[in-house]
A and B are shown apart, each in its own frame.
Chain A
Amino acid sequence: MHRVKLAAAFFCASAAIAVAEDKPGTVKTDLYTVTDGYKVDANTMKGFRTWRAAACDRCHGANQEGLVGPSLINSLKILTKDEFKATVTEGRLEKGMVAFKTSQQVMDNLDNLYAYLKGRSDGAITRTKVEELKE
């Protein structure tokens, strides 16, 4: 049942971001699905794992609120998805942002990383540490 809903969400990824409340406590957009603020779909979960593995928290803070690097809660309200991807891939060396193009995990998960961080920025994902939505 849930799996069908998730698949539908991803098939219409080209549509404008539509936030829907299926059932109480669930937020669903064409990027991510989150329940109770921390149970997320499989791809968003991969985005979280990528965030963690790439040690983004060392510069952007444990809660994405900024540290030596800027707050991603704010940045993701401004950057387009393409700009986000370009920044992660090529870095912003003068500002201290790593170029992640040689990291297979980050390159394979750019969309998932975006979904996770966008969910955090939108306020739909309310905790840094998320769990995978169980059936």
Chain B
Amino acid sequence: MKCTYKQVVVSLALATAPLAAFANADVEKLTADPKNWAMQAGDMYNQRYSKLKQVNDSNVNKLQVAWMFSTGVLRGHEGSPLVIGDMMYIHSPFPNKVFAMDLNTNKIVWKYEPKQDPAVIPQMCCDTVNRGLAYGEGKVVLQQADSTLVALDAKTGKVVWSVKNGDPKLGAVNTNAPHIFKDKVITGISGGEWGVRGFVAAYNLKDGKMAWKGYSTGPDEEMLIDPNTTTTWADGKVQPVGANSSLKTWKEDQWKIGGGTTWGWYSYDKALNLMYYGTGNPSTWNPAQRPGDNKWSMTIFARDVDTGKAKWVYQMTPYDEWDFDGINEMILADINVKGKPTKALVHFDRNGFGYTLDRTNGALLVAEKYDPKVNWATHVDMKSGRPQVVAKYSTAQNGPDVNTKGVCPAALGSKDQQPAAYSPDTKLFYVPTNHVCMDYEPFAVEYTAGQPYVGATLSMYPAPGSHGGMGNFIAWDAGAGKIVYSIPEKFSVWSGALATAGNLVFYGTLEGYLKAIRKSDGKELWKFKTPSGIIGNVFTYEHKGKQYVGVYSGIGGWAGIGMAAGLEKDTDGLGAVGGYRELNQYTDLGGSLTVFAIPGGN
């Protein structure tokens, strides 16, 4: 059945008949051609892999800047541009400019800059990032900060349709990239620190009409959960979640302001017709105010793209006590897991565990630490799927107004949103990570609509007793749950990785270096200092027979300079070598795109 369906879609993609109702075919066709970079992750599996190999491990040392472009905005630049044929679509942080550039001339064909209420800027505290655009059926889709989702005509930049996705006055703003799966634009919501109730919504690419909306928390029908057919991993098997699976895990109505926001990267498996994403932390950060597992915050969701119905769920961090948002990307890959060929979903959670699940049914297969310093839990119990919390690091057990010290990882997670890459050549995952620990002191807070709702004071510093740096770039075997190699980095690696068929992996650093390492063994082959720290994702494309590699630079936000000043003086002595403070010695704000190529003809 699956094969038949796949064949139908593939044949449609190849057919010359009108494809209006099958946008998926359009995007699929575009992503199948490695000359394009047609989705934020390059494909629907979130693999961030390119078949291009003109730039490879034997010539990458010749890579030079081909051209640069300033967005004119000095804030954190996340995500990457898209490349469709001769056109590149470039985005910026707030005010969310979009530039359509003709790659033949480097001329801006059109520019779009929405008018947005500046009141959303403080609500995006502390960074006004935007993770990029989506493209499908001749439309460029932008998810604005003020929650407006807008489809632009890719040829002219004219607004085709525009819908409001949330209420920014309540802190419901957006940073995520929209994703086009099938004939839908899928988007989420931010605002977990404002008591926003998370959801994922699907809008028709054609007209912007909402097709479905599934909340992360609350009554079954609002989550699009069927108590009998939606399943989860429990007692060593996949079983129905049962009635009121969310409501019974919250104190009173806390779920209404309980977070579970959805600002990460989503993936889609056409054969299963399922999309995958993670939900964020429960609100507030003070666990004493929300006893219970707080389902389905901190959860991997698999939803049917047509209906939104939840096929399965898996909660990674029940009753969060550390702000370990579960929003990080789900990477789909067909790999051997403990020797068995598996349709896997691989997820590097903020909580420091790398999870491998069977993406067809949500069965838990592997859950291992991808940073050996992770200490808040000893392990994940494979039968119950629950992390085994270490009492000493439990901010709930220690209670409000007590400073729980030395928790690893910090709230930033062993990895935040910065997406990892997967290479089908090596069957390994290449993961940008943080190597940061924290002190966490929760305290009681009251909810006021439209006001910050946090409830904990944090202090972060490099993982003690390690190499002194705040990051690692690792290669990970998701079938075994083991680190294959680990490259220490001075600062968190907050840039999305790119793996290529040229035996290369690229990633950026907070100092502003774009680096190329040899995929097979991690040896650094090339690096280049860009104008500002890199928190964007590396992408590649081919134009007129030449391969290009590009990345935004423009430091900002939580990862950025700011953290330097946030360090508590009394933690400086933990071998921190000044931690993020030193970042000021390398970089400052910026906002530019740098594109590289090997000079000369091909």
Chain B 454-465: CB-based contact to A (< 8 A → 1; otherwise 0): 110111000000
Instruction: Check A62 against B448 for contact (C-beta < 8 Å).
Output: no
Instruction: Check A58 against B121 for contact (C-beta < 8 Å).
Output: no
Binding stretch for chain A, among B210-218, B342-350, B522-530, B558-566: B558-566
In the assembled complex, which residues on chain A have CB atoms less than 8 Å from the CB atom of B569?
A: 63
A106 to B446: give the CA distance in the assembly, Å. Answer: 11
Given contacts A58-B452, A67-B566, contact A97 B122 (CB under 8 A): yes
In the assembled complex, which residues on chain B have CB atoms less than 8 Å from the CB atom of A130?
A: none
Instruction: Check B126 against A58 for contact (C-beta < 8 Å).
Output: yes
Instruction: Check B457 against A57 for contact (C-beta < 8 Å).
Output: yes
Instruction: Check B563 against A96 for contact (C-beta < 8 Å).
Output: no
Give the Cβ gap from A92 to chain B, nearest Cβ, in Å. 8
A62, A95, A102: the one within 8 Å of B451 (CB): A102
Given contacts A58-B193, A62-B566, A63-B565, contact A100 B451 (CB under 8 A): yes
In the assembled complex, which residues on chain B have CB atoms less than 8 Å from the CB atom of A105?
A: 446, 448
Q: A54 contacts the other chain (Cβ, under 8 Å)? A: yes
Given contacts A55-B452, A58-B125, contact A67 B562 (CB under 8 A): yes
Q: A14 contacts the other chain (Cβ, under 8 Å)? A: no
A59 to B123: give the CA distance in the assembly, Å. Answer: 11
Q: How many residues of B contact A (CB 8 A)?
A: 34
Q: B138 contacts the other chain (Cβ, under 8 Å)? A: no
Q: B263 contacts the other chain (Cβ, under 8 Å)? A: no
Q: A103 contacts the other chain (Cβ, under 8 Å)? A: yes
Nearest A residue to B121 via CB reads A96
Give the Cβ gap from B441 to chain A, nearest Cβ, in Å. 8
In the assembled complex, which residues on chain B have CB atoms less than 8 Å from the CB atom of A106?
A: 451
Instruction: Check B119 against A104 for contact (C-beta < 8 Å).
Output: no
Instruction: Check A52 against B457 for contact (C-beta < 8 Å).
Output: yes
Instruction: Check A61 against B565 for contact (C-beta < 8 Å).
Output: yes
Give the Cβ gap from B9 to chain A, nearest Cβ, in Å. 45
Q: B568 contacts the other chain (Cβ, under 8 Å)? A: yes
In the complex, which residues 83-132 of chain B have their Cβ closer than 8 Å to any Cβ of chain A? Answer: 118-119, 121-128
Instruction: Check A91 against B566 for contact (C-beta < 8 Å).
Output: no
B450, B455, B565, B568: the one within 8 Å of A102 (CB): B450
In the assembled complex, which residues on chain B have CB atoms less than 8 Å from the CB atom of A100?
A: 451
Q: A135 contacts the other chain (Cβ, under 8 Å)? A: no
Instruction: Check B452 against A102 for contact (C-beta < 8 Å).
Output: no
Chain A 50-84: CB-based contact to B (< 8 A → 1; otherwise 0): 00111101110111011111010000000000000
In the assembled complex, which residues on chain A have CB atoms less than 8 Å from the CB atom of B459?
A: 62
Instruction: Check B118 against A104 for contact (C-beta < 8 Å).
Output: no
Given contacts A52-B457, A67-B126, A103-B448, contact A94 B121 (CB under 8 A): yes
Nearest B residue to A67 via CB reads B562
Task: Choose among A49, A61, A62, A129 the residue with the greatest number of B CB atoms under 10 Å from its CB.
Answer: A62
Instruction: Check B565 against A66 for contact (C-beta < 8 Å).
Output: yes
A55 to B123: give the CA distance in the assembly, Å. Answer: 12
Instruction: Check A59 against B126 for contact (C-beta < 8 Å).
Output: yes
Instruction: Check A104 against B448 for contact (C-beta < 8 Å).
Output: yes
In the assembled complex, which residues on chain A have CB atoms less than 8 Å from the CB atom of B452?
A: 54-55, 58, 98
Give the Cβ gap from A63 to chain B, nearest Cβ, in Å. 7
Q: A12 contacts the other chain (Cβ, under 8 Å)? A: no
Give the Cβ gap from B579 to chain A, nearest Cβ, in Å. 12
In the assembled complex, which residues on chain A have CB atoms less than 8 Å from the CB atom of B128?
A: 96
Q: B567 contacts the other chain (Cβ, under 8 Å)? A: yes
Q: B10 contacts the other chain (Cβ, under 8 Å)? A: no
Give the Cβ gap from A40 to chain B, nearest Cβ, in Å. 16
Give the Cβ gap from A100 to chain B, nearest Cβ, in Å. 7
A53 to B401: give the CA distance in the assembly, Å. Answer: 12
Nearest A residue to B94 via CB reads A96
Give the Cβ gap from B83 to chain A, nearest Cβ, in Å. 31
Q: B487 contacts the other chain (Cβ, under 8 Å)? A: no
Q: A93 contacts the other chain (Cβ, under 8 Å)? A: yes
B118, B193, B445: the one within 8 Å of A93 (CB): B118
Give the Cβ gap from B410 to chain A, nearest Cβ, in Å. 12
Q: B557 contacts the other chain (Cβ, under 8 Å)? A: yes
Instruction: Check A63 against B568 for contact (C-beta < 8 Å).
Output: yes
Instruction: Check B125 against A59 for contact (C-beta < 8 Å).
Output: yes
In the assembled complex, which residues on chain B have CB atoms less than 8 Å from the CB atom of A99?
A: 119, 122
Instruction: Check B565 against A55 for contact (C-beta < 8 Å).
Output: no
A52 to B284: give the CA distance in the assembly, Å. Answer: 13
In the assembled complex, which residues on chain A have CB atoms less than 8 Å from the CB atom of B127?
A: 68
Given contacts A100-B451, A102-B448, contact A94 B567 (CB under 8 A): no
In the assembled complex, which residues on chain B have CB atoms less than 8 Å from the CB atom of A93?
A: 118-119, 121-122
Nearest A residue to B127 via CB reads A68
In the assembled complex, which residues on chain A have CB atoms less than 8 Å from the CB atom of B122?
A: 59, 91, 93, 96-99
Q: B233 contacts the other chain (Cβ, under 8 Å)? A: no
A91 to B125: give the CA distance in the assembly, Å. Answer: 13
In the assembled complex, which residues on chain A have CB atoms less than 8 Å from the CB atom of B123?
A: 98
Given contacts A58-B125, A68-B557, contact A102 B566 (CB under 8 A): no
Instruction: Check B449 against A102 for contact (C-beta < 8 Å).
Output: yes
Q: B49 contacts the other chain (Cβ, under 8 Å)? A: no
Instruction: Check B119 against A62 for contact (C-beta < 8 Å).
Output: no
Nearest B residue to A68 via CB reads B126
A65 to B451: give the CA distance in the assembly, Å. Answer: 22
A68 to B74: give the CA distance in the assembly, Å. Answer: 12
Instruction: Check B121 against A61 for contact (C-beta < 8 Å).
Output: no
A103 to B580: give the CA distance in the assembly, Å. Answer: 32
Nearest B residue to A104 via CB reads B448
A134 to B455: give the CA distance in the assembly, Å. Answer: 25
Give the Cβ gap from B500 to chain A, nearest Cβ, in Å. 34
In the assembled complex, which residues on chain B have CB atoms less than 8 Å from the CB atom of A66?
A: 562, 565
In the assembled complex, which residues on chain B have CB atoms less than 8 Å from the CB atom of A103?
A: 448, 451
In the complex, which residues 543-570 of chain B have their Cβ closer than 8 Å to any Cβ of chain A? Answer: 556-557, 562-563, 565-569
In the assembled complex, which residues on chain B have CB atoms less than 8 Å from the CB atom of A52?
A: 443, 457
In the complex, which residues 445-483 of chain B have their Cβ closer than 8 Å to any Cβ of chain A? Answer: 445-446, 448-455, 457-459
Nearest A residue to B446 via CB reads A105
List 8 A-B residue pairs with CB atoms under 8 Å apart, sorted by A's residue number.
A55-B452, A55-B453, A58-B193, A67-B126, A68-B562, A71-B565, A97-B122, A105-B448
Q: Which 10 A-B pairs have the closest CB atoms?
A: A67-B562, A55-B452, A68-B126, A93-B118, A55-B454, A98-B122, A61-B565, A65-B565, A61-B566, A96-B121
Known: A52-B457, A58-B125, A62-B567. 20 other contacts (CB 8 A): A52-B443, A53-B443, A53-B445, A55-B452, A55-B453, A57-B457, A58-B193, A58-B452, A62-B458, A62-B568, A63-B568, A63-B569, A67-B566, A68-B562, A94-B118, A96-B126, A99-B122, A102-B449, A104-B448, A129-B457
